[in-house]
Amino acid sequence: MKIRKAVITAAGWGTRFLPVTKAVPKEMLPLLNKPIIQYSVEEAVACGIELVVIVTAQGKRAIEDYFDRSLELEQVLKQKGESQTLEEVRRLSDMVDICYVRQKAQLGLGHAVLAARNMVGNEPFLLLLPDDLFEEHELVLKRMIEVYENHRSSVVAVKRVPPEEVSRYGVVEPRKVAERIHEVMSLVEKPRPEESPSNLAIMGRYVLMPEIFEALESTSPGRDQEIQLTDGLQRLLEQHPIYAYEFEGERYDVGTPLGWLQTMIALALKTPDMGPKLRDYLSDLLGLVPYSGGDNVTT
């Protein structure tokens, strides 16, 4: 069955970015001239997705407004003759059908995925976590879709991380079946390094079979009474195979202020209009203010 739908989760509190996320959804923080969540929507569209389901929560109305029409703004831009900006603004609401469902309580990623069940129905779908961006953009998901088409099974994106970092992620026990493709033998959520089955950590892209919903419904809440997607995948694995695609290229984490800033700089350096000037500025800045290795920077 062709994958037609994608789910994007955007219901978290964004506590690492407080106090700004008290008023602005974390997913609407800018990366260059686009909010974080737009990268995920465009990635899904590039994979041929026809319907994007965004899981939101209270205080996230700005996301809906952003992808909606703004007739008054369009009229102002038209009167000013800013045709290129007008075209970009209109593109936001025209590029794909988007619907919204609310996660009414903060009960984990697995619970957020369950909130989209009625919209997804009984068909496979993509799941994108906006905190993760990829250097190869939609190519990661396109290759995952190829794995799904070959095996008709759920697929998770994985990347090798230092052993001391496995406790931050869901981790898979792999059995290699092809270049960069592994059959998943087991999964564990945030294991201690000495108990981790590997250092292949799950990153924020999934191709999921609809059976994941039943698996999540029968998954017991874990720490903080949250339903973890990794635990649901482990339950799904009892009846259906799961594969892991070990993607190439860099993965950017915008889920923390430092990661967001690093991603902003990395993306800006790759743009032809900003890159050279930013590189010169950073070179001058680092030359004037050398880093001493401590908490304070001195001249």
CB 5 within 8 A of CB 245: no
Structure tokens that stand for 158 in this block: 């994985």
pLDDT at 223: 74
Question: What tens digit of pLDDT does each residue of 1-51 get?
Answer: 899 999 999 998 899 999 999 999 999 999 998 999 999 999 999 999 999
Question: What tens digit of pLDDT does each residue of 126-168 get?
Answer: 999 999 999 999 999 999 999 999 999 999 999 999 999 999 9
pLDDT at 288: 60
pLDDT at 222: 77
Distance CA 129, CA 40 (A): 8
Structure tokens that stand for 113 in this block: 């995925």
Q: How much helix, strand and coil, in percent to the nearest 5, is found in the chain?
A: 40, 25, 35
As beta bridge partners, residue 184 has 174
Give the 3-state secondary structure of residue 168. Answer: helix
The CATH 3.90.550.10 portion of the chain extends over 5-255
In a 13 Å sphere around the CA of 81, the CA atoms on its Cβ side amount to: 0
Whether omega for the bond prior to residue 19 falls within 30 degrees of 0, making it cis, is yes
Distances 233 to 15, 70, 117, 187 between C-alpha atoms, Å? 26, 40, 16, 7
pLDDT at 295: 46
* 5-255: in CATH 3.90.550.10: yes
Residue predicted with more confidence, 299 or 256: 256
Structure tokens that stand for 127 in this block: 């799941």
Q: How many CB atoms within 10 Å of residue 250?
A: 12
pLDDT at 292: 47
pLDDT at 296: 44
Taking residues 200-217, what's their average pLDDT? 96
Residue 297 has pLDDT above 50, yes or no: no
Judged by phi (left if over 0) then psi (alpha if -120 to 50, else beta), residue 28 lies in alpha
Question: What tens digit of pLDDT does each residue of 165-192 get?
Answer: 999 999 999 999 999 999 999 999 999 9
Question: What tens digit of pLDDT does each residue of 223-261 get?
Answer: 778 899 999 999 999 999 999 999 999 999 999 999 999
Question: What tens digit of pLDDT does each residue of 99-122 get?
Answer: 999 998 889 999 999 999 999 999
Closest CA to 255 of 5, 3, 2, 9: 9
Q: Per-residue DSSP letters for 101-113?
A: EE--S---HHHHH
Give the 3-state secondary structure of residue 125. Answer: strand
CB 111 within 8 A of CB 226: yes
pLDDT at 201: 96
Three-state secondary structure string covering 65-83: HHCCCCHHHHHHHHHHCCH
Taking residues 199-218, what's their average pLDDT? 96
Question: What tens digit of pLDDT does each residue of 60-99 get?
Answer: 999 999 999 989 999 999 999 999 999 999 999 899 999 9
Closest CA to 174 of 110, 246, 94, 278: 246
- Whole-structure pTM value: 0.90
Cα 28 → chain centroid = 13
